[in-house]
Amino acid sequence: MAGRLKLHVIASGSKGNASIVEDGATGRCVLVDCGVTKRALLAGCEASAIDPARIEAVLVTHDHSDHVKGLPVAYRGMAKLGCHPDLFVNDAVFAAVPKMTEAAELCCRHGMEHGDALSVAGMDVQVFPTSHDAVWSCGFRFECEGDALGFMTDSGVVTPEAHEALSDVRILALESNHDLDMLENGSYPYQLKVRVRSDRGHLSNVQAARELSELVSDRLEQVVSMHVSQNNNTYRLPVDTLEGVVVTMGADVHVQTGYQSQPIDVM
């Protein structure tokens, strides 16, 4: 049964990331990251029936380009629509991305730290640490009128704070980046393989499944595999792996994947 919160994955992968969390009752929205072009963002909004003017805040998980490169142009585009969403970004991340100042000039910028409890677009948002080779990185737990959504990508391990924040949610967006065999036998240079599978890299399908086995609850209804590698994974493998967990546990949970260039809606 659909709850109050909705997740719209506009794009998820190494070429660009953007997701929208919506309060289905009010239509108020929060954009998580913008590593895609303005055209892709607006096309994703149209596909998901989201008026960009309803985006009241942008939350930035970390400084890597596939999560932030589209922000300046997106803000200029939204400004033309009369929309100036607040920008929530850690100071170290802001300093690491010089072009982000262009976005900040068009809105109100707020600092953000691990452990913060934010109030944005009528939602309560908890900021928790992830483990990634960025200057600073985080994930989010969204709550609204008794509904809860957990969102985490770009983490080599699940931190204790992340595990706690992702527990007891109805919608879980969880990184399932690579298949270990495909990574090991693939074309990536050795050092890049080491980076991806390190504690500051990305979660594998197996790691995501292990975490999901500890997060299945009576409340959990939807799981989305995120940041799926187009070189070291398939869109089917993480779904099969995560579905194996919920089937084994006898849970009634729907599993799907976020795509690089095909928006999906999770309710």
* Closest residue by Cα to residue 89 from 40, 137, 132, 24: 137
Report yes or no: 257 and 228 within 8 Å, Cβ to Cβ. yes
- According to the model, what pLDDT value does residue 38 have? 95
- Model confidence pTM above 0.75: yes
| Low pLDDT (below 70) residues in the chain | 1-2
* Lookup: tokens for 14: 């190494």
From edge to edge, which strands make up the β-sheet containing 5-11?
A: 109-110, 86-88, 55-59, 29-32, 18-23, 5-11, 264-266
Specify the residue for token string 């969204």.
142
What's the confidence (pLDDT) of residue 86?
98
pLDDT the model gives residue 1: 56
Q: Phi then psi for 232, rounded to 5 degrees? A: -120, 25
Report how far residue 170's alpha carbon sits from residue 147's, in angstroms, rounded to the nearest whole number.
7
Topology of domain 5-257 in CATH is: Metallo-beta-lactamase; Chain A (3.60.15)
The predicted structure's pLDDT at residue 191: 97
Each residue's pLDDT tens digit, 123-141: 999 999 999 999 999 999 9
The rounded distance, in Å, linking the Cα atoms of 150 and 16 is: 20
Q: Which helix (H) or strand (E) holds 9?
A: strand 5-11
CB–CB of 232/178 below 8 Å? yes
